[in-house]
Structure 1
Amino acid sequence: MDDSKNNPNQINIELPEEIAEGTYSNLAIISHSHSEFVVDFVRLVPNVPKAKVKARIILTPDHAKRLMRALADNVKRYEAQFGAIDEQEQPAFPLNFSTPKAQA
């Protein structure tokens, strides 16, 4: 029997294959207005002066706060399992990857 019929509060969430692969981001830019938070996930590539926003997520303020708490809880559980995350000093912007410049 389908449990979702017995539990009206259950949500069936579909994860399409192209989304399930994920998108790598090494920079997040967060801005907000009175009614929403905007999180732009960016991928910076060494020696490329231009970066692209790979995903933009728009949240209500209350959902942004729930996300912040959920992320903090997950970091706490991660560190309990794997040890403290070593936070590097905030890099200068733009980031310097210290790699040789690409040449053709």
Structure 2
Amino acid sequence: MPDPKPKPEQEKGPGVPGALRPRLVPRPGLAGEAVYANVVRISHAPSELVFDFAHSLPGELDVPIKARVVLSPLSAKLLQRALADSLAKYETAFGVVNVPQGKSLADDLFRSPETPKPESE
């Protein structure tokens, strides 16, 4: 007897012909939960990389970690590849993302606001 609820097909995974990629299914209680981060601290050990994501506001000295993601070195490398691919597609659709040239990115993101110059008449 056929299954009354046919399961949607899974996507084909990369690399191995016929391999299936798991579908991401929201867990109850987490569906729709998003974390905005403008700061990430990356640390590593021989067997893992740890990404601590936070949301920093100007003037805050203590910034609470909002999410921590721990990846194997292989998973981190695959994430790097996926990010590069996604950013390339984004730039094709919306234009190049320019990284500010300063002492550091943090200097550009968290500098004091400049006083507007008076308009000359």
TM-score by length of 2: 0.67
Inter-partner Cα distance in structure 1 for 2:112 and 2:68? 24
Q: How does 1:58-97 map to 2 (within 5 A)?
A: 58-89=70-101, 90-92=105-107, 95-96=110-111
Inter-partner Cα distance in structure 2 for 1:43 and 1:19? 21
- Off by >6 Å, runs of 4+ in structure 1: none
Query: Unaligned regions of 5+ residues in structure 2, if any?
Result: 1-5, 11-17, 115-121
Amino acid aligned to 2:7: D
- Identify the match of residue 113 of structure 2 among 93, 98, 104: 98
Q: How does 1:20-59 map to 2 (within 5 A)?
A: 20-59=32-71
Deviation at 1:19, TM superposition (A): 4.8
Aligned to 1:14: 25
Deviation at 1:2, TM superposition (A): 2.4
Amino acid aligned to 2:41: I
Q: Percent sequence identity over matched residues?
A: 30
Aligned to 1:102: none
Change (3 A) 1:81 1:15: same
Compute the RMSD of aligned alpha carbons.
Answer: 2.9
In proportion to residue count, which structure has more helix? Answer: 1
- 1:56-79: per-residue Cα shift (whole Å, max 9, x none)? 000000000000000000000000
TM-score by length of 1: 0.77
Count of aligned residue pairs for this structure pair:
98
